[in-house]
Amino acid sequence: MAFAGKLFTRASLGSYICRTRGLTANRVHRRHVVSCIDPSLGLTDEQKEFQKVAFDFAANEMAPHMAEWDEKEMFPVDTMRKAAQLGFGGIYVQPETGGSGLSRLDTSIIFEALSTGCVSTTAYISIHNMCAWMIDTFGSEEQRHRYCPQLCSMEKFASYCLTEPGSGSDAASLLTTAKRDGDHYVLNGSKAFISGAGDTDVYVVMCRTGEKGAKGISCLVVEKGTPGLGFGKKERKVGWNSQPTRAVIFEDCAVPVANRLGEEGQGFTIAMKGLNGGRINIASCSLGAAHASVLLARDHLKVRKQFGEPLSNSQFLQFKLAEMATRLVASRLMVRQAALALQEERQDAVTLCSMAKLFATDECFAICNQSLQMHGGYGYLKDYAVQQFVRDIRVHQILEGTNEVMRMIVSRNLLQE
């Protein structure tokens, strides 16, 4: 894990935090902790330290700018590079290529904490991490050392390119072609809804090099500036406005064969393995939004008075708050269990990741939406953060595999037994 030009191991990071966190981090951490929903419960001392650093960064570097980034649709490059200095640019990439070498559970803990400061920015960081991991895991030694150090430092940014205008949930039907021509592939086609597109530097692209279906798909790394690589207009979105979204267009785009990750026909497997972690990551971002929204609702109930007394005296609203807290903790436990299964490469990992993504993103959206309702008319004003949490996490039920597809994966697993 890197900071100020130094490479930290897991052990030395803990020592660094103890020397530098000061009172601010402790205050920030307490602000995000409320007894039964304390996100540090059950964590090791080391994990609590990672978490404190992430909460501190979220409170000081992200939350004060969250509304501005949303309103002005700013891609906060400088802030993300500061996050990378703490090791958040390649959290589960190996240290030998510039990463932090942390576990999937550690990663979930960090993304949950960062999302309390800005869901949209954290979600992009999570996608960037997924791309860096894919290159680190499936790339050659030359590819790993060529791309990963600059991705982990966020000197360069990455985008994941799977979805197409005509192939969303049915990803194996993608039509972007890559025809071999000597020592290059010539790409033609387009990708849709690509996070960071146009502003990022490295595109991890799934394309068809062979037969129809999943076995004909390969994975190529395409660098910005490659002739034939273009972008569509910047999309106007409900949320996720701190990251640009555009179509990625390939018109006779020649990419060296040396940029292929793995073997021909391995691309769909690579894409799905990336998404297993991506589902945990995006569920973790939902946890952060829900956690923040529970605290916002609690604080509002305490200060808002109607009929001569605080809203917190209403048993109906007390029960609603209790339900929100219960949903949050249940979601967190499910996400963390799935993260452990993925780290251990257990047989049930894919299904558990799907369950966690389905449950957490549905429940956390409901939590944020209920928090907005508790705020009444104030919750609908952009001066109040809760409405942005609602807008930013709504898409989590759609991307990284829709929640309908998550249900398909879980049901297939059950019916195969």
Beta-strand relationship, 260-261 and 217-223: antiparallel
Contact 152, 89 (CB under 8 A): yes
DSSP lists the bridge partners of residue 184 as 181, 256
CA distance 128 to 141: 20
Contact 248, 129 (CB under 8 A): no
Tokens 């979220």 belong to which residue?
Answer: 58
For the record, the structure tokens of 25 come out as: 């981090």
Q: Which of 49, 400, 404, 417 is catalytic?
A: 400
Cα 214–chain centre separation = 25
Question: Which amino acid, one-letter code, is at 389?
Answer: F
In the annotation, is 400 catalytic? yes
Three-class SS state of 251: strand
DSSP lists the bridge partners of residue 158 as 202
Closest C-alpha to 39, from 396, 47, 297: 47
Contact 130, 274 (CB under 8 A): yes
Cβ of 272: how many Cβ atoms within 10 Å?
Answer: 17
Three-class SS state of 256: strand
Catalytic residues: 400
